[in-house]
Amino acid sequence: MHVLVIGAAGMIGRKLVEHLAGSPSVLGDGIARLTLADAVTPAVPETLRSITTALTIDLADGDPATRLIEGRPDVIFHLAAIVSGEAEADFDKGYAVNLDGTRALFEAIRREGQREPYRPRVLFASSIAVFGAPFPEVIGPDFFTTPLTSYGTQKAIAELLLADYSRRAIFDGVGIRLPTICVRPGAPNKAASGFFSNILREPLAGKEAVLPVSEDVRHWFASPRSAVGFFIHAATMDTSIIGPRRNLTMPGLSATVGEEIEALRRVAGDRAASLIRREPDPLIAGIVAGWPTNFDAGRAMKLGFRAENTFEEIIRIHIEDELAGVLP
């Protein structure tokens, strides 16, 4: 089996590749060939070095898609994107990568299939940013996509293309609408959603973190481990039972910031929780107020997708996967 990961240097891409390296038969047949692509050169796992090609590509330039598909990968994980803030600031770049780059990939698959029969599995990283406020209390499975960012627009368009190309049997696609990933590893970042992870990750490492919103703010979460699990499941499941509605809101945990902090207190004690400093930021509070708080993800759950049920689970996964199982 030839596996292609586009966006292999990103947070989920790296974790997915690590997982494949650790369990090469998780996709069924075992991996005979692995191609990793990203805008920055992706790391190659030591155990798969002999079968791996790492490529530095710009998806906005249509050629790389053709080159990637010439190798006829059987499973394609498409995780690459210009993130929300940058796609909003740079209109052309966001559309060039998130829309045109994705479409170039889909078209390269179509052309390859015209040359010789070919129908790979395509797993696409979408986002709950396809939805735009105002929302019902729980967003149902048939709620419309009225995004309020160009990023969300580009993801919603890619979802429509994925469904049409799948309906025409050009490929076998599944769109994975990811919850906000928590706890994000790495340094604190400036993304408006950063604090959801910062207020756990930093105290768990004995450091202060800033909370810019009130504790009653509710949002929708899954761990990085669940995110990898979503893609693996989508790559291996029986897609014949999905039907033509190929884009799935993944399961997640609806929780408030207060519930996050209580879970931190239970896992790591009062000292950790006391490292969270309240510094209300009306700008961030305003942005976050427009975000969804809860979903009915019953459809994806019926199809076998799973996420965490409590924030303590999410924290314990972070401790296991990022802190070698121990608190400092």
Q: Tell me how far, at minimum, the Cβ of 156 lies from its own copies, in Å.
A: 5
Q: What is the DSSP string of 40-52?
A: SPPP--GGGGGGE
Please report where in the chains the tokens 């999410």 appear, as a residue.
314
Contacts of 310 (CB under 8 A, 6+ apart): 253, 263
Q: How far apart are CA 104 and CA 64, in angstroms?
A: 9
Catalytic residue status for 151? yes
Among 102, 153, 197, 293, binds its own copies (CB under 8 A): 153
Binding flags for its own copies, 23-62, as an x/- string (CB under 8 A): ----------------------------------------
Residue type (1 letter), 282? P
Distance CA 229, CA 222 (A): 11
Smallest distance, Å, CB 163 to its own copies? 7
Residue 296 binds its own copies (CB under 8 A): no
146 part of the interface to its own copies, by CB under 8 A? yes
Verify binding: residue 118, its own copies, rule CB under 8 A. no
The nearer residue to its own copies, 13 or 152, going by C-beta atoms, is 152
For the four alpha carbons of 138, 142, 145 and 151, in that order, the dihedral sign comes to positive
Give the Cα separation of 90 and 97 in Å (integer). 11
Cβ distance to its own copies smaller for residue 9 or 99: 99
Q: Which of 43, 55, 148, 287 binds its own copies (CB under 8 A)?
A: 148
Query: 106 near 98, Cβ under 8 Å?
Result: no
Least Å distance, CB 76 to its own copies, is 20
Give me the active site residues, please.
Answer: 151
- Name the residues that contact its own copies, by CB under 8 A: 91, 132, 136, 142-148, 150, 153, 156-157, 160-161, 163-164, 167-168, 244-245
